[in-house]
Chains A and B, each alone.
Chain A
Amino acid sequence: MMRSAVMVAVLSFCLQACSEKEDVGDGKKLADTVVEPQVSTPDFNAGRNAYFGDLHVHTMYSFDAFIFGTTASPDDAYGFAKGGVVTHPGGFDMQLDVPLDFYAVTDHAFYLGSLRAMADPSTDLSKHEIAEGMSELSDAANRYGHFQKVIAFLRTERSSELLDQQVYKEAWDDIVAAANRHNDPGKFTALIGYEYTASGDQMENLHRNVIFRGDTAPELPFSRIDSSNPERLWEWMDEQREKGLEALAIPHNSNGSNGEMFKLLDFTGNRLNSAYADQRMRNEPLVEITQVKGTSDTHPALSPTDEWADFEIMPYRIATKLDSTVPGSYVREALMNGIELMQKKGFNPFKFGAIGSSDTHNGTYAGDEDNYWSKVGLLDDEPVERGSIPLPEPRKGGELYADSYYRTWSAAGLAGVWADENTRGSIYDAFRRKETFATSGPRIRVRFFAGYGLPKIETKDLISRAYSIGVPMGGDLIADKDREPEFLVWASRDANSAPLQRLQIIKASVRDGKSVEHVFDVACSGGGEVDKATHRCPDNGAKVNLEDCTISDDVGSAELRTIWRDPDYDPSEHALYYMRVLENPTCRWSTWDAIRSGVSPREDLHATIQERAWSSPIWISPPEQ
């Protein structure tokens, strides 16, 4: 009796202590949305499980998805993530081989539900001039025209005319209810979310997805119609947090931002300061680095010494054929600018963890290279529309392929997290810790720790010891003058994709006031040795047969792992490290399209790609002087 009373006391103390939320800078605590006793689910693992999800999904409520022909509801989308079937507007069925563990529907907040209402002649919205033709959308060209018409109207002073408060509210309530209905602790996490779709005057992309931790959401989202300035969004999120509604924003498609997403000035053109950095990091701990509209890790022009930087580059501003300036548009450069600012000014506004997601507008996912669904419904469901096979007749001027940007799009990406269990709280807290990784589609699992005196790689309880001695991906380590840090780097293949080719570390550090990057191969497939001078693995000789996309089945590794030390370590430098793992090459979706259509793959596209995963960085800062 006495003993059980003590146990209860200890447990309830732990409940309080364990639910203390992490300080997120500025002295503010994360809001606690739900106070309930923590009962763990059967898969609970203190050494943490890898979970895969998609945090970027549009359904029929998004203005553009509706125009593209999407009729899938949030309910359909969550059902799809759990393994259900959704029919593509083009008439074929979409279903995942393996269901996802977590998922968020993130419809565009502006004009949420409006386009559906416009197409219904009984509504007021259908009488608006912009609604003309919305109930008779036809071919891809007609739909693209309507899409551009709405975007143009959105950019006028009259933009709020298309916002019917009742339609908006009903759609939002339906989204929230669908997430709550589908959330199934221990099995499937359905998060409440939406997309804040702001852009600059010249179509510079400033989009963010806002993801909520709990089961209650604000009355209505904060949209670009409220303000196109993302700093206003963060203020609104701070206010919500004060009210107990914890959320984070995840920027995406920095590649299409024309240098605006990570520029070194704030929205109105002032120099960045520590208040800006605190507010941004409090609200934006993560960044989406890969999705259908390209990969934003880095660009060959920014990383000339990274032979794998030319990966799924999408060079345009979003929804246009205007070029997007490279500097300020890619994540690695931002991370590097971040540590440079940290060294010079003592604050870092770009201390992001990484995730991938699809940005599907079909209410599902991106599909795979050999079963690609792209993302804009009837606009690009045919290979000829996405420019992977020639037009029946060449265009004026002799151009063989359709004049579209879809050729630069990808069958990507996935969000990975390491979490104790598959619940909203556990998955969301992994986002907050940045214990996240991104993949270009395959379910590659990556583990990454840094610490002093990590155990040998073959140690049985390696992970629990790494957690107790070191910090996982997304964490911080203080440099030590007397000891060098070690890195535990470990990747495990997707059992149904290609084997792994090489394991890498991308390092950036501030040297002589300037941040510089290095790419190190740290483990090679087939037992190959890294060359000590070039830091490169030998070529493993993996081949792809471009006649039928078969791959070499005798090269590559199922797992790659090592304990790595930086040969160029300097404890006085601000530095960051993240891991990247590359699969053996496989056919790109455009090559699959060409082979299936019996034509040669297009010469100005990569015929093969190396699918990959990236971890969130670990930051190392010099000890306080």
Chain B
Amino acid sequence: MKLLREPLVWFFAVGIVLFATDDYFSRQPGRVVVDEGVRSRLDKLWQVQTGNSATPKELESLVQNWIREEVFYREALRMGLDRDDSIVRRRLVQKLGFLIEEVEEEGDQAQAVQEYYQVNTADYSLPVRYSFSQIFFTDGSRLVELQTKLEQGDDWRGLSETSMLNSSYASRSEKEITAIFGRPFVGYLHSLVQGKWVGPIKSSFGLHLVRLERLIPTETTPLAYIEKRVYADYLQHRREVVTEAFYQDLLGSYEIVLE
């Protein structure tokens, strides 16, 4: 089974055994042990809150409080108050999640990243883009005059009315063109012809004659350009895979009864 070769699974298996054993010995019913570990934790907390180390008297009082809390805590557990409590439940699941998600970064992962990139090329593709020029006018009756001038070979740049629009746009996606010209304009993009003035096309600004200079088909960004991003995506993906595998493995040891 592949999962048995996963170091993380072994890590958890050993961890759970150790944790359970430790818990059993220190949590025997009716036995509360105040050891150095407890005292030093309490003292550290006191220092954070007050800036000073606890005096013996203060420490004694902290210990008494801790014992009181521990006894209540144990009693609450014994009474099963942790069960059916969504906050306790969510918190424990979250803590387990943190442990699983700490995927170790092992030596050379270039190969794995390369494979991940191959499988997910769609995520690293650029959309179709258009490079085009446009002549802007607001008065529809100018159309014939403009077309005649274009046929006569007049410089098209001189024919546009003044506006904040550019005369040419290079390599813009449909989304970018929507932002500049408005939604209805984009509906006409498919009717453009390379090297030919097409129109009039209506935008949020007015009318346009549009010449497609180049249609750039969808293309995939080479891995070398986006290595960091792909690596981050790959790590995230691995975390998800490990978590899911861990869940499936655990699931095997439970009987799920749907009533």
Contacts and interface: CB of A to CB of B under 8 A. Distances in A.
Interface string B5-34: 000000000000000000000000000000
Interface stretch (B76-84, B112-120, B162-170, B243-251): B162-170
Contacts of B44: 124
Interface in B153-200: 158, 162-165, 170, 175-176, 178-183, 185
B72 interface: no
B203 interface: yes
B49 A458 contact: no
Contacts of A97: 175, 178-179
A445 B204 CA distance: 14
B204 A496 contact: yes
A492 B163 contact: yes
B182 A496 contact: yes
A558 to B, nearest CB: 4
A246 B206 CA distance: 44
A97 B183 CA distance: 11
B73 interface: no
Specify which of B95, B162, B163, B170 lies most central, judged by the most chain A CB atoms within 10 Å of its CB.
B162
Contacts of A42: 170
B48 A558 contact: no
B87 interface: yes
A493 interface: yes
A495 B203 contact: yes
Interface in A466-505: 490, 492-493, 495-496, 499
Contact of B164 (A121, A458, A460, A559): A559
A216 interface: no
A559 B205 contact: yes
Contact of B205 (A127, A161, A457, A495): A495
A490 B164 contact: yes
Nearest to B86: A136
Contact of A495 (B49, B87, B181): B181
A229 B54 CA distance: 35
Contacts of A181: 228
A136 B181 contact: no
Specify which of A136, A490, A495, A499 lies most central, judged by the most chain B CB atoms within 10 Å of its CB.
A495
Interface in A230-259: none
A190 to B, nearest CB: 14
A490 B178 CA distance: 22
Contact of A447 (B48, B49, B164, B181): B164
Contact of A135 (B49, B87, B170): B87
B162 A98 contact: no
Given A98-B179, A124-B45, A493 B204 contact: yes
Secondary structure dominating the interface of B: helix
B91 interface: yes
Contacts of B95: 122
A181 B226 CA distance: 11
A458 B179 contact: no
Contact of B49 (A128, A445, A490): A128
Nearest to B203: A495
Contacts of B49: 127-128, 161
Interface string B65-94: 000000000000000000000010001000
Interface string A170-189: 00000000000100000000
A499 B203 CA distance: 12
A35 to B, nearest CB: 25
Contact of A496 (B91, B170, B183): B183
A457 B179 contact: no
A493 B179 contact: no
A583 to B, nearest CB: 12
B45 A496 contact: no
A462 interface: yes
A445 B166 CA distance: 13
B191 to A, nearest CB: 19
B162 A558 contact: no
Contacts of B170: 42
Contacts of B203: 495
A443 interface: yes
Given A121-B91, A127-B45, A136-B87, A558 B205 contact: yes
A496 B164 contact: no
B203 to A, nearest CB: 7
B87 A496 contact: no
A558 B182 CA distance: 11
Contacts of B163: 492, 558-559
Interface in A428-486: 443, 445, 447, 457-460, 462
B215 to A, nearest CB: 18
Specify which of B49, B176, B183 lies most central, judged by the most chain A CB atoms within 10 Å of its CB.
B49
29 contacts: A42-B170, A50-B164, A83-B175, A97-B178, A97-B179, A98-B176, A135-B87, A161-B48, A447-B164, A459-B162, A460-B158, A460-B162, A490-B164, A492-B163, A493-B204, A493-B205, A495-B179, A495-B180, A495-B181, A495-B185, A495-B203, A496-B178, A496-B182, A496-B183, A496-B204, A558-B138, A558-B204, A558-B205, A561-B162
Interface of B: 44-45, 48-49, 87, 91, 95, 138, 158, 162-165, 170, 175-176, 178-183, 185, 203-206, 228
Q: Nearest 6 pairs between A and B by C-beta?
A: A495-B182, A492-B164, A98-B179, A495-B204, A558-B205, A136-B87
Given A445-B164, A559-B164, 11 more contacts: A83-B175, A127-B48, A135-B91, A181-B228, A457-B162, A459-B162, A490-B164, A492-B165, A495-B205, A496-B178, A496-B204
